[in-house]
Structure 1
Amino acid sequence: MATIILGILTVMCCYFTVVLFRKIGWHFAGWSTELLGFSIGFLADFCDTLGIGSFMVTTASFKATKYLKDERHLPGTLLMMHALPTLVEAAFFITVVQVESLTLITLVVAAVIGSLLGSRLTVKLDKQKIQRIAAFAMLLTSLLMAAKKLGWIDLLGASNTAMGLHGGALLIGITSNFILGVLMAAGIGLYAPCMVMVYLLGLNPLAAFPIMMVSCAALMPTSSLTFIRKGLFQKTGMWSMIIGGIVGVLVAAIFVRSLSLDALTWLIVVIGLGTAWTLYKSATKKLI
Protein backbone atom coordinates (compact mmCIF):
# COMPACT_ATOMS: atom_id res chain seq x y z
CA MET A 1 0.00 0.00 0.00
CA ALA A 2 2.80 2.43 0.88
CA THR A 3 4.46 1.85 -2.50
CA ILE A 4 1.19 2.48 -4.38
CA ILE A 5 0.49 5.69 -2.43
CA LEU A 6 4.03 6.93 -2.96
CA GLY A 7 3.76 6.19 -6.68
CA ILE A 8 0.51 8.16 -6.97
CA LEU A 9 2.01 11.09 -5.05
CA THR A 10 5.07 11.06 -7.31
CA VAL A 11 2.93 11.22 -10.46
CA MET A 12 0.92 14.11 -8.98
CA CYS A 13 4.05 16.04 -8.09
CA CYS A 14 5.65 15.43 -11.50
CA TYR A 15 2.53 16.85 -13.16
CA PHE A 16 2.63 19.82 -10.76
CA THR A 17 6.31 20.43 -11.61
CA VAL A 18 5.62 20.42 -15.36
CA VAL A 19 2.68 22.82 -15.00
CA LEU A 20 4.70 25.16 -12.79
CA PHE A 21 7.68 25.18 -15.13
CA ARG A 22 5.46 25.90 -18.13
CA LYS A 23 3.94 28.80 -16.18
CA ILE A 24 7.11 30.52 -14.92
CA GLY A 25 10.04 28.78 -16.61
CA TRP A 26 13.36 29.49 -14.94
CA HIS A 27 14.29 33.09 -14.17
CA PHE A 28 17.45 33.92 -12.22
CA ALA A 29 16.65 36.91 -9.99
CA GLY A 30 20.18 37.51 -8.67
CA TRP A 31 22.34 35.65 -6.18
CA SER A 32 21.09 37.51 -3.09
CA THR A 33 17.42 36.93 -3.93
CA GLU A 34 17.87 33.29 -4.91
CA LEU A 35 20.05 32.55 -1.87
CA LEU A 36 17.49 34.10 0.48
CA GLY A 37 14.72 32.04 -1.13
CA PHE A 38 16.84 28.89 -0.80
CA SER A 39 17.52 29.69 2.87
CA ILE A 40 13.83 30.25 3.67
CA GLY A 41 12.88 26.97 1.99
CA PHE A 42 15.71 25.09 3.71
CA LEU A 43 14.85 26.40 7.19
CA ALA A 44 11.11 25.84 6.83
CA ASP A 45 11.27 22.25 5.58
CA PHE A 46 14.16 21.36 7.89
CA CYS A 47 11.87 22.37 10.77
CA ASP A 48 8.94 20.56 9.14
CA THR A 49 10.85 17.28 8.99
CA LEU A 50 11.68 17.62 12.68
CA GLY A 51 7.98 18.06 13.48
CA ILE A 52 7.90 21.82 14.02
CA GLY A 53 6.00 22.67 10.83
CA SER A 54 6.77 24.73 7.75
CA PHE A 55 3.92 27.20 7.23
CA MET A 56 4.54 29.28 10.35
CA VAL A 57 8.30 29.32 9.83
CA THR A 58 7.84 30.40 6.21
CA THR A 59 5.29 33.10 7.01
CA ALA A 60 7.48 34.52 9.77
CA SER A 61 10.52 34.47 7.45
CA PHE A 62 8.60 36.25 4.71
CA LYS A 63 7.47 38.92 7.15
CA ALA A 64 10.94 39.41 8.64
CA THR A 65 12.77 39.61 5.30
CA LYS A 66 9.98 41.19 3.20
CA TYR A 67 10.72 38.49 0.64
CA LEU A 68 7.05 38.08 -0.28
CA LYS A 69 6.07 41.07 -2.38
CA ASP A 70 2.28 40.72 -2.11
CA GLU A 71 0.57 39.01 0.83
CA ARG A 72 -2.33 38.03 -1.42
CA HIS A 73 0.17 35.49 -2.80
CA LEU A 74 0.87 33.91 0.61
CA PRO A 75 -1.50 30.87 0.49
CA GLY A 76 -0.47 29.86 -3.04
CA THR A 77 3.23 30.37 -2.36
CA LEU A 78 3.09 28.28 0.82
CA LEU A 79 1.41 25.38 -0.97
CA MET A 80 3.64 25.48 -4.04
CA MET A 81 7.03 25.88 -2.39
CA HIS A 82 6.38 23.03 0.05
CA ALA A 83 4.67 20.54 -2.31
CA LEU A 84 7.81 18.75 -3.53
CA PRO A 85 9.70 18.86 -0.19
CA THR A 86 6.65 17.34 1.51
CA LEU A 87 6.68 14.47 -1.02
CA VAL A 88 10.30 13.79 -0.07
CA GLU A 89 9.26 13.86 3.59
CA ALA A 90 6.45 11.41 2.93
CA ALA A 91 8.89 9.05 1.21
CA PHE A 92 10.90 8.86 4.43
CA PHE A 93 8.00 8.44 6.85
CA ILE A 94 5.17 6.70 4.98
CA THR A 95 6.59 3.20 5.47
CA VAL A 96 7.51 3.66 9.14
CA VAL A 97 3.98 3.47 10.57
CA GLN A 98 1.22 1.24 9.23
CA VAL A 99 -2.25 2.84 9.50
CA GLU A 100 -5.30 0.86 8.35
CA SER A 101 -5.73 1.41 4.62
CA LEU A 102 -9.38 2.52 4.76
CA THR A 103 -8.60 5.15 7.39
CA LEU A 104 -5.54 6.51 5.59
CA ILE A 105 -7.10 6.63 2.11
CA THR A 106 -10.44 8.17 3.13
CA LEU A 107 -8.86 10.86 5.31
CA VAL A 108 -6.35 11.77 2.61
CA VAL A 109 -9.01 11.96 -0.11
CA ALA A 110 -11.15 14.14 2.17
CA ALA A 111 -8.24 16.53 2.73
CA VAL A 112 -7.57 16.77 -1.02
CA ILE A 113 -11.22 17.50 -1.83
CA GLY A 114 -11.32 20.07 0.96
CA SER A 115 -8.18 21.79 -0.33
CA LEU A 116 -9.62 22.00 -3.86
CA LEU A 117 -12.68 23.76 -2.48
CA GLY A 118 -10.53 25.91 -0.21
CA SER A 119 -8.25 27.01 -3.04
CA ARG A 120 -11.23 28.15 -5.12
CA LEU A 121 -12.48 30.23 -2.20
CA THR A 122 -9.07 31.62 -1.23
CA VAL A 123 -8.24 33.05 -4.67
CA LYS A 124 -11.28 35.34 -4.27
CA LEU A 125 -10.06 36.88 -0.99
CA ASP A 126 -8.57 40.38 -0.81
CA LYS A 127 -5.28 41.29 0.88
CA GLN A 128 -6.76 42.21 4.26
CA LYS A 129 -8.72 38.96 4.53
CA ILE A 130 -5.58 37.00 3.68
CA GLN A 131 -3.68 38.90 6.38
CA ARG A 132 -6.39 38.19 8.97
CA ILE A 133 -6.44 34.49 8.06
CA ALA A 134 -2.64 34.36 8.24
CA ALA A 135 -2.69 36.09 11.63
CA PHE A 136 -5.23 33.56 12.93
CA ALA A 137 -3.15 30.70 11.50
CA MET A 138 0.00 31.96 13.21
CA LEU A 139 -1.81 32.43 16.53
CA LEU A 140 -3.47 29.00 16.41
CA THR A 141 -0.26 27.22 15.39
CA SER A 142 1.76 29.01 18.07
CA LEU A 143 -0.72 28.03 20.78
CA LEU A 144 -0.86 24.41 19.59
CA MET A 145 2.95 24.23 19.48
CA ALA A 146 3.13 25.62 23.01
CA ALA A 147 0.50 23.12 24.18
CA LYS A 148 2.48 20.26 22.64
CA LYS A 149 5.73 21.38 24.27
CA LEU A 150 3.94 21.55 27.62
CA GLY A 151 2.72 17.98 27.10
CA TRP A 152 -0.99 18.83 27.00
CA ILE A 153 -1.61 17.47 23.49
CA ASP A 154 0.32 14.25 24.13
CA LEU A 155 -1.92 13.56 27.13
CA LEU A 156 -4.86 13.23 24.72
CA GLY A 157 -3.30 10.21 23.04
CA ALA A 158 -1.38 8.72 25.95
CA SER A 159 -3.47 5.56 26.22
CA ASN A 160 -4.57 5.25 22.57
CA THR A 161 -3.66 2.05 20.73
CA ALA A 162 -5.93 1.95 17.64
CA MET A 163 -4.36 2.22 14.16
CA GLY A 164 -7.64 2.71 12.32
CA LEU A 165 -11.04 4.37 12.60
CA HIS A 166 -14.44 2.73 12.16
CA GLY A 167 -18.10 3.70 12.08
CA GLY A 168 -18.94 7.13 13.46
CA ALA A 169 -15.34 7.87 14.39
CA LEU A 170 -14.30 7.34 10.75
CA LEU A 171 -17.02 9.72 9.53
CA ILE A 172 -15.89 12.35 12.04
CA GLY A 173 -12.30 11.88 10.91
CA ILE A 174 -13.23 12.26 7.23
CA THR A 175 -15.26 15.40 7.93
CA SER A 176 -12.53 16.89 10.10
CA ASN A 177 -9.77 16.25 7.57
CA PHE A 178 -11.98 17.75 4.85
CA ILE A 179 -12.26 20.94 6.92
CA LEU A 180 -8.51 20.94 7.59
CA GLY A 181 -7.93 20.62 3.84
CA VAL A 182 -10.11 23.69 3.23
CA LEU A 183 -8.18 25.64 5.85
CA MET A 184 -4.80 24.52 4.56
CA ALA A 185 -5.55 26.00 1.15
CA ALA A 186 -5.96 29.32 2.97
CA GLY A 187 -2.54 29.01 4.63
CA ILE A 188 -3.47 27.33 7.92
CA GLY A 189 -1.14 24.40 8.56
CA LEU A 190 -2.65 20.93 8.88
CA TYR A 191 -0.11 19.17 11.11
CA ALA A 192 -0.97 20.40 14.61
CA PRO A 193 -4.79 20.36 14.33
CA CYS A 194 -4.67 16.97 12.59
CA MET A 195 -2.61 15.60 15.46
CA VAL A 196 -5.19 16.83 17.97
CA MET A 197 -8.00 15.29 15.89
CA VAL A 198 -6.23 11.92 15.68
CA TYR A 199 -5.67 11.84 19.43
CA LEU A 200 -9.27 12.80 20.24
CA LEU A 201 -10.59 10.03 17.97
CA GLY A 202 -8.56 7.44 19.88
CA LEU A 203 -5.82 6.65 17.37
CA ASN A 204 -2.29 5.82 18.41
CA PRO A 205 -0.16 9.01 18.36
CA LEU A 206 2.10 7.39 15.74
CA ALA A 207 -0.86 7.17 13.36
CA ALA A 208 -0.85 10.96 13.06
CA PHE A 209 2.37 11.01 11.04
CA PRO A 210 1.36 9.08 7.88
CA ILE A 211 -2.07 10.74 7.93
CA MET A 212 -0.52 14.22 8.16
CA MET A 213 2.32 13.57 5.74
CA VAL A 214 0.27 11.89 3.01
CA SER A 215 -2.59 14.40 3.33
CA CYS A 216 -0.21 17.32 2.80
CA ALA A 217 1.80 15.59 0.07
CA ALA A 218 -1.42 14.90 -1.85
CA LEU A 219 -3.30 18.17 -1.36
CA MET A 220 -0.40 20.61 -1.90
CA PRO A 221 0.29 19.91 -5.60
CA THR A 222 -3.44 19.42 -6.28
CA SER A 223 -4.68 22.68 -4.74
CA SER A 224 -1.64 24.56 -6.06
CA LEU A 225 -3.00 24.24 -9.61
CA THR A 226 -5.74 26.77 -8.86
CA PHE A 227 -3.20 29.34 -7.70
CA ILE A 228 -0.94 28.62 -10.69
CA ARG A 229 -3.80 29.25 -13.12
CA LYS A 230 -4.66 32.53 -11.39
CA GLY A 231 -1.00 33.59 -11.04
CA LEU A 232 -1.47 34.14 -7.30
CA PHE A 233 1.96 33.11 -6.05
CA GLN A 234 5.48 34.48 -5.67
CA LYS A 235 7.23 33.75 -8.93
CA THR A 236 10.59 35.27 -7.95
CA GLY A 237 12.79 32.69 -6.26
CA MET A 238 10.16 29.93 -6.37
CA TRP A 239 12.54 27.25 -7.63
CA SER A 240 15.19 28.27 -5.09
CA MET A 241 12.64 27.94 -2.28
CA ILE A 242 11.59 24.52 -3.56
CA ILE A 243 15.18 23.26 -3.93
CA GLY A 244 16.11 24.69 -0.53
CA GLY A 245 13.14 22.88 0.99
CA ILE A 246 14.14 19.53 -0.53
CA VAL A 247 17.70 19.95 0.75
CA GLY A 248 16.32 20.87 4.19
CA VAL A 249 14.27 17.66 4.31
CA LEU A 250 17.24 15.52 3.28
CA VAL A 251 19.58 17.12 5.82
CA ALA A 252 17.06 16.73 8.66
CA ALA A 253 16.03 13.16 7.76
CA ILE A 254 19.46 11.74 6.94
CA PHE A 255 22.02 13.67 8.97
CA VAL A 256 20.22 14.95 12.08
CA ARG A 257 20.12 12.04 14.51
CA SER A 258 19.69 13.87 17.79
CA LEU A 259 18.91 17.52 18.32
CA SER A 260 17.37 19.36 21.24
CA LEU A 261 14.38 21.19 19.79
CA ASP A 262 13.09 22.78 23.00
CA ALA A 263 14.80 26.16 22.64
CA LEU A 264 14.17 26.28 18.87
CA THR A 265 10.49 25.41 19.25
CA TRP A 266 9.88 28.01 21.96
CA LEU A 267 11.71 30.60 19.84
CA ILE A 268 9.44 29.82 16.89
CA VAL A 269 6.37 30.05 19.16
CA VAL A 270 7.42 33.55 20.26
CA ILE A 271 8.21 34.60 16.68
CA GLY A 272 4.87 33.18 15.55
CA LEU A 273 2.93 35.19 18.12
CA GLY A 274 4.80 38.35 17.14
CA THR A 275 4.19 37.75 13.45
CA ALA A 276 0.49 37.08 14.10
CA TRP A 277 0.23 40.45 15.83
CA THR A 278 1.96 42.34 13.00
CA LEU A 279 -0.23 40.64 10.39
CA TYR A 280 -3.33 41.50 12.39
CA LYS A 281 -2.25 45.14 12.66
CA SER A 282 -1.59 45.27 8.92
CA ALA A 283 -5.04 43.84 8.22
CA THR A 284 -6.89 46.25 10.51
CA LYS A 285 -5.02 49.54 10.24
CA LYS A 286 -7.05 50.66 7.22
CA LEU A 287 -10.27 49.75 9.00
CA ILE A 288 -9.57 51.93 12.05
Structure 2
Amino acid sequence: MVVKIVLALIVVVNGAFAISFIRDLIAHKAETFKEAGNPIAQAFSSFVIFFFSTFGISDFAISASLYPKLKWVEDKKLPGTMNAQCVIPVAVMALVYISAIDVDLVTLIVAIVAQIVGSYLSPRYVVKLPVDTIKRFVSAGLLIAAILILAGKFGVYPSGGEEIGLTGVKLVALGVLSFAFGALNNIGIGSYALTMATVYALGLSPAIAFPIMMGACTFSVPVGSMQFIKLDSYSRKITAFTSTFGVIGVLIAAYAVKSMNVSALQWVVVVVILYSAFTTFLSTTKNKANVKESK
Protein backbone atom coordinates (compact mmCIF):
# COMPACT_ATOMS: atom_id res chain seq x y z
CA MET A 1 0.00 0.00 0.00
CA VAL A 2 2.80 2.43 0.93
CA VAL A 3 4.61 1.68 -2.34
CA LYS A 4 1.46 2.52 -4.28
CA ILE A 5 1.16 5.83 -2.42
CA VAL A 6 4.80 6.72 -3.21
CA LEU A 7 4.29 5.83 -6.89
CA ALA A 8 1.06 7.85 -6.99
CA LEU A 9 2.83 10.88 -5.49
CA ILE A 10 5.54 10.60 -8.14
CA VAL A 11 2.87 10.68 -10.85
CA VAL A 12 1.07 13.65 -9.25
CA VAL A 13 4.20 15.78 -8.66
CA ASN A 14 5.71 15.11 -12.07
CA GLY A 15 2.32 15.28 -13.77
CA ALA A 16 2.01 18.87 -12.54
CA PHE A 17 5.33 19.64 -14.22
CA ALA A 18 4.26 17.89 -17.43
CA ILE A 19 1.05 19.96 -17.62
CA SER A 20 2.99 23.18 -17.03
CA PHE A 21 5.58 22.24 -19.66
CA ILE A 22 3.04 21.22 -22.32
CA ARG A 23 1.10 24.46 -21.85
CA ASP A 24 4.30 26.48 -22.20
CA LEU A 25 5.35 24.46 -25.25
CA ILE A 26 2.03 25.08 -27.00
CA ALA A 27 2.09 28.78 -26.13
CA HIS A 28 5.60 29.16 -27.60
CA LYS A 29 5.44 26.66 -30.45
CA ALA A 30 6.92 29.00 -33.06
CA GLU A 31 9.82 30.02 -30.81
CA THR A 32 10.58 26.39 -29.95
CA PHE A 33 11.13 25.43 -33.59
CA LYS A 34 13.59 28.30 -33.97
CA GLU A 35 15.79 27.18 -31.03
CA ALA A 36 19.32 26.04 -31.90
CA GLY A 37 20.22 22.42 -32.55
CA ASN A 38 19.77 19.72 -35.16
CA PRO A 39 16.68 17.63 -34.25
CA ILE A 40 18.35 14.31 -35.11
CA ALA A 41 21.45 15.17 -33.06
CA GLN A 42 19.32 16.26 -30.10
CA ALA A 43 17.19 13.12 -30.26
CA PHE A 44 20.32 10.97 -30.25
CA SER A 45 22.00 12.94 -27.45
CA SER A 46 18.81 12.75 -25.35
CA PHE A 47 18.77 8.97 -25.69
CA VAL A 48 22.47 8.64 -24.80
CA ILE A 49 22.48 11.09 -21.88
CA PHE A 50 19.58 9.43 -20.08
CA PHE A 51 20.67 5.92 -20.96
CA PHE A 52 23.83 6.57 -18.94
CA SER A 53 21.95 8.58 -16.31
CA THR A 54 19.88 5.47 -15.57
CA PHE A 55 23.12 3.74 -14.55
CA GLY A 56 24.00 6.65 -12.25
CA ILE A 57 26.19 8.75 -14.58
CA SER A 58 25.14 12.36 -13.96
CA ASP A 59 23.07 13.81 -16.80
CA PHE A 60 23.91 17.25 -15.34
CA ALA A 61 27.62 16.65 -15.92
CA ILE A 62 27.18 15.44 -19.50
CA SER A 63 24.71 18.18 -20.44
CA ALA A 64 26.82 20.94 -18.88
CA SER A 65 29.81 19.95 -20.99
CA LEU A 66 27.90 19.17 -24.21
CA TYR A 67 25.28 21.89 -24.69
CA PRO A 68 27.55 24.98 -24.45
CA LYS A 69 30.10 23.44 -26.83
CA LEU A 70 27.41 22.74 -29.43
CA LYS A 71 25.83 26.16 -28.75
CA TRP A 72 22.42 24.58 -28.17
CA VAL A 73 21.77 26.52 -24.96
CA GLU A 74 22.90 29.98 -23.89
CA ASP A 75 24.67 30.14 -20.53
CA LYS A 76 21.86 31.85 -18.63
CA LYS A 77 19.40 29.10 -19.63
CA LEU A 78 21.72 26.16 -18.93
CA PRO A 79 20.73 25.57 -15.26
CA GLY A 80 17.03 25.66 -16.11
CA THR A 81 17.50 23.37 -19.09
CA MET A 82 19.46 20.79 -17.08
CA ASN A 83 16.74 20.71 -14.44
CA ALA A 84 13.70 20.76 -16.72
CA GLN A 85 15.03 18.21 -19.20
CA CYS A 86 15.52 15.52 -16.55
CA VAL A 87 12.13 15.71 -14.84
CA ILE A 88 10.19 13.21 -17.00
CA PRO A 89 13.09 10.75 -17.59
CA VAL A 90 13.92 10.68 -13.85
CA ALA A 91 10.25 10.18 -12.98
CA VAL A 92 10.23 7.13 -15.25
CA MET A 93 13.44 5.88 -13.60
CA ALA A 94 11.89 6.27 -10.16
CA LEU A 95 8.67 4.51 -11.14
CA VAL A 96 10.58 1.59 -12.66
CA TYR A 97 13.12 1.16 -9.86
CA ILE A 98 10.78 1.63 -6.91
CA SER A 99 8.21 -0.78 -8.33
CA ALA A 100 10.73 -3.39 -9.54
CA ILE A 101 13.61 -3.42 -7.03
CA ASP A 102 12.91 -4.91 -3.61
CA VAL A 103 13.81 -2.29 -0.99
CA ASP A 104 12.74 -1.76 2.62
CA LEU A 105 10.22 1.09 2.58
CA VAL A 106 11.43 2.71 5.81
CA THR A 107 14.97 2.84 4.45
CA LEU A 108 13.77 4.24 1.13
CA ILE A 109 11.55 6.91 2.69
CA VAL A 110 14.18 8.02 5.24
CA ALA A 111 16.77 8.48 2.48
CA ILE A 112 14.40 10.30 0.13
CA VAL A 113 12.92 12.64 2.74
CA ALA A 114 16.33 13.45 4.25
CA GLN A 115 17.77 14.36 0.85
CA ILE A 116 14.78 16.52 -0.06
CA VAL A 117 14.98 18.34 3.30
CA GLY A 118 18.74 18.85 2.87
CA SER A 119 18.19 20.27 -0.60
CA TYR A 120 15.45 22.61 0.65
CA LEU A 121 17.14 23.93 3.80
CA SER A 122 20.73 24.22 2.69
CA PRO A 123 20.96 26.95 0.01
CA ARG A 124 21.48 29.83 2.44
CA TYR A 125 24.40 27.98 4.04
CA VAL A 126 26.14 26.05 1.27
CA VAL A 127 26.78 29.17 -0.80
CA LYS A 128 29.18 30.34 1.93
CA LEU A 129 31.34 27.21 1.73
CA PRO A 130 34.55 26.93 -0.35
CA VAL A 131 33.15 24.80 -3.18
CA ASP A 132 36.47 23.62 -4.61
CA THR A 133 37.68 22.44 -1.19
CA ILE A 134 34.49 20.44 -0.69
CA LYS A 135 34.81 18.94 -4.17
CA ARG A 136 38.35 17.77 -3.44
CA PHE A 137 37.24 16.06 -0.24
CA VAL A 138 34.31 14.47 -2.07
CA SER A 139 36.64 13.26 -4.85
CA ALA A 140 39.01 11.73 -2.29
CA GLY A 141 36.12 10.06 -0.47
CA LEU A 142 34.72 8.59 -3.68
CA LEU A 143 38.15 7.33 -4.69
CA ILE A 144 38.60 5.59 -1.32
CA ALA A 145 35.12 4.08 -1.61
CA ALA A 146 35.93 2.73 -5.09
CA ILE A 147 39.21 1.24 -3.85
CA LEU A 148 37.43 -0.50 -0.95
CA ILE A 149 34.79 -1.92 -3.29
CA LEU A 150 37.51 -3.23 -5.62
CA ALA A 151 39.35 -4.69 -2.63
CA GLY A 152 36.16 -6.49 -1.68
CA LYS A 153 35.71 -7.78 -5.23
CA PHE A 154 39.17 -9.33 -5.13
CA GLY A 155 38.79 -10.71 -1.60
CA VAL A 156 41.28 -8.32 0.00
CA TYR A 157 38.74 -6.44 2.12
CA PRO A 158 35.24 -7.50 3.20
CA SER A 159 32.68 -4.95 1.96
CA GLY A 160 29.22 -4.60 0.50
CA GLY A 161 26.27 -6.83 1.15
CA GLU A 162 22.88 -8.02 -0.01
CA GLU A 163 20.59 -6.44 2.59
CA ILE A 164 17.54 -4.52 1.35
CA GLY A 165 17.02 -2.35 4.43
CA LEU A 166 18.67 -0.73 7.44
CA THR A 167 17.80 -0.26 11.11
CA GLY A 168 19.26 1.53 14.13
CA VAL A 169 22.51 3.45 13.81
CA LYS A 170 22.97 2.54 10.15
CA LEU A 171 19.55 3.93 9.25
CA VAL A 172 20.33 7.16 11.12
CA ALA A 173 23.67 7.36 9.30
CA LEU A 174 21.92 6.96 5.95
CA GLY A 175 19.50 9.75 6.88
CA VAL A 176 22.24 12.15 7.97
CA LEU A 177 24.36 11.47 4.88
CA SER A 178 21.36 11.76 2.56
CA PHE A 179 20.61 15.17 4.13
CA ALA A 180 24.20 16.20 3.36
CA PHE A 181 23.93 14.92 -0.22
CA GLY A 182 20.82 17.03 -0.74
CA ALA A 183 22.80 20.05 0.43
CA LEU A 184 25.74 19.24 -1.83
CA ASN A 185 23.41 19.12 -4.84
CA ASN A 186 22.98 22.87 -4.44
CA ILE A 187 26.65 23.54 -5.12
CA GLY A 188 26.82 21.28 -8.15
CA ILE A 189 27.99 18.04 -6.51
CA GLY A 190 25.70 15.28 -7.73
CA SER A 191 24.29 12.78 -5.26
CA TYR A 192 24.26 9.68 -7.49
CA ALA A 193 27.80 8.44 -6.86
CA LEU A 194 27.73 9.49 -3.20
CA THR A 195 24.51 7.54 -2.66
CA MET A 196 25.99 4.50 -4.38
CA ALA A 197 29.09 4.59 -2.19
CA THR A 198 27.02 5.05 0.99
CA VAL A 199 24.58 2.25 0.19
CA TYR A 200 27.47 -0.09 -0.52
CA ALA A 201 29.43 0.91 2.61
CA LEU A 202 26.40 0.31 4.84
CA GLY A 203 26.07 -3.26 3.63
CA LEU A 204 23.07 -2.84 1.36
CA SER A 205 22.72 -4.44 -2.03
CA PRO A 206 24.09 -2.10 -4.74
CA ALA A 207 20.70 -2.29 -6.47
CA ILE A 208 19.14 -0.36 -3.57
CA ALA A 209 21.00 2.79 -4.63
CA PHE A 210 18.88 3.15 -7.75
CA PRO A 211 15.40 3.63 -6.22
CA ILE A 212 16.93 5.88 -3.53
CA MET A 213 18.80 8.08 -6.03
CA MET A 214 15.94 8.47 -8.46
CA GLY A 215 13.30 8.68 -5.73
CA ALA A 216 14.97 11.72 -4.14
CA CYS A 217 15.46 13.52 -7.45
CA THR A 218 11.97 12.90 -8.77
CA PHE A 219 10.41 14.77 -5.84
CA SER A 220 12.88 17.65 -5.57
CA VAL A 221 13.57 18.61 -9.21
CA PRO A 222 10.04 19.19 -10.65
CA VAL A 223 9.18 22.00 -8.22
CA GLY A 224 12.25 24.05 -9.14
CA SER A 225 11.82 23.26 -12.83
CA MET A 226 8.33 24.77 -12.89
CA GLN A 227 9.90 28.03 -11.71
CA PHE A 228 12.33 27.91 -14.64
CA ILE A 229 9.32 27.53 -16.96
CA LYS A 230 7.65 30.59 -15.45
CA LEU A 231 10.88 32.57 -15.82
CA ASP A 232 11.33 31.44 -19.45
CA SER A 233 14.81 30.28 -18.49
CA TYR A 234 15.17 26.90 -20.20
CA SER A 235 15.32 25.26 -23.64
CA ARG A 236 11.87 23.99 -24.62
CA LYS A 237 13.25 22.11 -27.61
CA ILE A 238 15.80 20.08 -25.66
CA THR A 239 13.30 19.39 -22.88
CA ALA A 240 10.81 18.08 -25.44
CA PHE A 241 13.42 15.72 -26.90
CA THR A 242 14.59 14.41 -23.53
CA SER A 243 10.99 13.88 -22.43
CA THR A 244 10.56 11.50 -25.37
CA PHE A 245 13.86 10.05 -26.60
CA GLY A 246 15.42 10.35 -23.15
CA VAL A 247 12.64 8.19 -21.74
CA ILE A 248 13.36 5.52 -24.37
CA GLY A 249 16.99 5.47 -23.21
CA VAL A 250 15.81 5.15 -19.60
CA LEU A 251 13.56 2.18 -20.30
CA ILE A 252 16.28 0.26 -22.15
CA ALA A 253 18.93 0.97 -19.49
CA ALA A 254 16.56 0.23 -16.59
CA TYR A 255 15.83 -3.19 -18.04
CA ALA A 256 19.58 -3.85 -18.17
CA VAL A 257 20.07 -2.75 -14.55
CA LYS A 258 17.20 -4.92 -13.30
CA SER A 259 18.60 -7.91 -15.17
CA MET A 260 22.10 -7.62 -13.69
CA ASN A 261 23.21 -9.74 -10.76
CA VAL A 262 24.84 -8.22 -7.68
CA SER A 263 28.38 -8.86 -8.93
CA ALA A 264 27.75 -7.04 -12.21
CA LEU A 265 26.11 -4.14 -10.39
CA GLN A 266 29.17 -3.84 -8.16
CA TRP A 267 31.26 -3.18 -11.26
CA VAL A 268 28.75 -0.57 -12.43
CA VAL A 269 29.00 1.12 -9.02
CA VAL A 270 32.81 1.18 -9.23
CA VAL A 271 32.78 2.72 -12.72
CA VAL A 272 30.25 5.39 -11.73
CA ILE A 273 32.11 6.29 -8.54
CA LEU A 274 35.50 6.51 -10.28
CA TYR A 275 34.01 8.60 -13.11
CA SER A 276 32.38 10.96 -10.62
CA ALA A 277 35.55 11.26 -8.53
CA PHE A 278 37.55 12.17 -11.64
CA THR A 279 35.07 14.68 -13.07
CA THR A 280 34.49 16.32 -9.66
CA PHE A 281 38.22 16.82 -9.13
CA LEU A 282 38.71 17.94 -12.73
CA SER A 283 36.11 20.68 -12.25
CA THR A 284 38.25 22.20 -9.47
CA THR A 285 41.29 22.39 -11.75
CA LYS A 286 39.19 24.09 -14.45
CA ASN A 287 37.97 26.63 -11.91
CA LYS A 288 41.58 27.42 -10.96
CA ALA A 289 42.50 27.92 -14.61
CA ASN A 290 39.54 30.26 -15.14
CA VAL A 291 40.52 32.31 -12.10
CA LYS A 292 44.11 32.70 -13.36
CA GLU A 293 42.89 33.77 -16.81
CA SER A 294 40.63 36.42 -15.31
CA LYS A 295 43.49 38.02 -13.32
Q: TM-score, normalised by structure 1?
A: 0.74
- Computing the radius of gyration from Cα coordinates, the structure with the larger value is 2
Match in the other structure for 2:215: 214
1:40-59 alignment runs, 5 A limit: 40-59=45-64
The one-letter amino acid paired with 1:76 is G
Q: Deviations over 1:209-265 (max 9, x none)?
A: 221121122222133234444444344532123323112213334589899989x97
1:280 and 2:295 aligned? no
Aligned 8 A contact 1:112 1:222 in 2: no
Count of residues paired in the alignment: 279
Structure 2 CA distance for partners of 1:73 and 1:110, relative to 1, 3 Å: farther
Aligned 8 A contact 1:173 1:197 in 2: yes
SS at match of 1:178: helix
**Could you tell me how far apart the structure 2 residues matched to 1:220 and 1:69 are?**
21
SS at match of 2:100: coil
CA drift at 1:81: 0.8
Equivalent of 1:76 in 80, 87, 97: 80
Aligned 8 A contact 1:135 1:280 in 2: no
**Could you tell me how far apart the structure 2 residues matched to 1:117 and 1:266 are?**
26
1:169-188 alignment runs, 5 A limit: 169-188=170-189
CA drift at 1:36: 3.5
1:88-127 alignment runs, 5 A limit: 88-117=92-121
Aligned 8 A contact 1:190 1:216 in 2: no
**Could you tell me how far apart the structure 1 residues matched to 2:103 and 2:22 are?**
35
Aligned 8 A contact 1:74 1:187 in 2: no
**Could you tell me how far apart the structure 2 residues matched to 1:171 and 1:261 are?**
26
**Could you tell me how far apart the structure 2 residues matched to 1:186 and 1:239 are?**
26
The one-letter amino acid paired with 1:90 is A
Gaps of at least 5 residues in structure 1 are none
1:86 and 2:95 aligned? no
Q: Deviations over 1:32-83 (max 9, x none)?
A: 444343333211101122343422222222244232311x444332222111
Structure 2 CA distance for partners of 1:109 and 1:32, relative to 1, 3 Å: same
Aligned 8 A contact 1:99 1:164 in 2: yes
Of 209-218 and 179-188, more deviation after overlay is shown by 179-188
SS at match of 1:52: coil
**Could you tell me how far apart the structure 2 residues matched to 1:164 and 1:145 are?**
25
SS at match of 2:33: coil
Gaps of at least 5 residues in structure 2 are none
Structure 2 CA distance for partners of 1:211 and 1:237, relative to 1, 3 Å: closer
Match in the other structure for 1:15: 16
Match in the other structure for 1:191: 192
The one-letter amino acid paired with 2:71 is K
**Could you tell me how far apart the structure 1 residues matched to 2:277 and 2:191 are?**
20
Q: Deviations over 1:121-143 (max 9, x none)?
A: 59x98xxx9xx969987996799
Of 2-11 and 25-34, more deviation after overlay is shown by 25-34
Q: Deviations over 1:95-116 (max 9, x none)?
A: 3332221121121112222333
The alignment's C-alpha RMSD in Å is 4.3
**Could you tell me how far apart the structure 2 residues matched to 1:35 and 1:134 are?**
37
**Could you tell me how far apart the structure 2 residues matched to 1:153 and 1:100 are?**
27
CA drift at 1:15: 0.3
Identity %: 27
Structure 2 CA distance for partners of 1:4 and 1:17, relative to 1, 3 Å: same
Q: TM-score, normalised by structure 2?
A: 0.73
SS at match of 2:51: helix
**Could you tell me how far apart the structure 2 residues matched to 1:36 and 1:199 are?**
36
**Could you tell me how far apart the structure 2 residues matched to 1:52 and 1:157 are?**
26
